[in-house]
Structures are given as C-alpha cells and as structure tokens.
A = this chain, B = another copy of it.
C-alpha cells in the first residue's frame, strides 16, 4: 500500500482489519480535530482518507492506539505522526462508539481537539494529503467524521465563551480588530466593535504596546500584547480545563 511506504507509522486498512477481526475485541483509535485560524477564517485540518472505499473523501487525523501508551500520549503521537505538530495542546472531547461507525470493523475512537495559528506551526505535508479546509465549506467527510467535527466545533465555541483563549492564535502583537476577527470567525457571528473593546479592556489582559499597525490601507490601529502573567493568576478562578 502506498501509504505504508510513505508513512510507516500508520495503520492501513488491512492492518486494522486483521487486528480488529482476528480477535473478538474492539480496536481503539484516536481522532484529532485541529482547528486553525488564518486570514480571519476558521479552518480544520483534514487528511485524504487512505481507505479505498472512501477515496476522495477527507478524514480527521487519526490512527489506532497502541497498547503500551497512555491515551493522551497516543493523541499527541498520532497528531505528530500525521502532521509533524508537537507543541499543540490537545483536549479530549468525546468518545464515539457506534457499532458500524468504521468500515474496517469495530473501532471506537476517542476524539481530541485543538486550535492553533496556522502560520505559527509548520506542517509536515506529504503529497498534499493534508489540507486546511474552511469549516463552513466541508465536503462530505469519511465515516462519522462530520458528526465528530460538529461535536468538537460546538465544544470549541463553548470554550471560547468561557475562557479568553485565542491569544496564542494571533501574532505576538495584534490589534483589537485582529482579536475581534478571531472571535467572530470562531463564534460565527458579528459583534459590536465598541462593546467588544470594552469587554476586553475590562478583562485587563491586554498590554498597550504604544505602537500602531504598519502598511494597512486605512488608519492603523494600536497594537497590543497578551498579558500572560495576569491571565495565569486569574485563571485559577476558572475551574476546569485551560485549553
């Protein structure tokens, strides 16, 4: 199989089938939904399905787990194998386990998601198998990957409203317009510019750099930096996941 040669770490359909059907057990996989932000658009990283039956379809980044690794470690390994990404925080979202969800046999998949700045991370792209898709323009995905995507996207939108994430997603220096574009892309609706600014100023996580944008075709905006130390202190008050 061509994939086998190029990506020796990956399991092919045959491998999955033999592994799954030989015993009466259940195979476990991990799928990663990597959201990316670039040019004011929210995207998701997909890979061309290596299963013949799903030729031409796109899939999430996934592979079978190994029995000698922690579940979370498996997620990071698989992401790294598939994309070269290794400095990305992954959050577990949900486990999908319908009987016939995978054509190769009984495979239950634990899904993780993340959100990164596309330009900050170098992908290890093999033969254009990897591609950033606009999230509002997803062609049909393989298996139940649309459902998985939807679940992760909903989770992402919720997280964004609870935590002021989204700072690693912008360049170090950013304008408030940049920040608002980010939030609007993720949440999918427009917000009032004035109230948006007020909200973030009162949160007090922004450092005014006393600089302005360069080379914009209009009045340049002020540039800000994220105040990580203040955020870290405040964070403890928000119980739970820190994305």
> Does B106 contact A67, Cβ atoms closer than 8 Å?
yes
Chain B nearest CB, measured from A99 CB (Å): 5
A96 at interface (Cβ–Cβ under 8 A)? yes
**A76-109, CB < 8 A from B:** 92, 94-99, 106, 108
Contacts of A94 in B (CB 8 A): 92
Copies in the complex: 2
Contacts of A239 in B (CB 8 A): 154
A110 at interface (Cβ–Cβ under 8 A)? yes
A68 at interface (Cβ–Cβ under 8 A)? yes
**A4-34, CB < 8 A from B:** 19, 23-28
Of the listed residues A26, A99, A154, the one surrounded by the most CB atoms of chain B closer than 10 A to its CB is A26
> Does B108 contact A71, Cβ atoms closer than 8 Å?
yes
A140 at interface (Cβ–Cβ under 8 A)? no
**A84-141, CB < 8 A from B:** 92, 94-99, 106, 108, 110
| Tally of contact residues, A, Cβ under 8 A | 29
A2 at interface (Cβ–Cβ under 8 A)? no
Of the listed residues A19, A24, A67, A106, the one surrounded by the most CB atoms of chain B closer than 10 A to its CB is A67
**A155-169, CB < 8 A from B:** 158
A72 at interface (Cβ–Cβ under 8 A)? yes
**CA separation between A110 and B108, bound complex, in Å?**
11
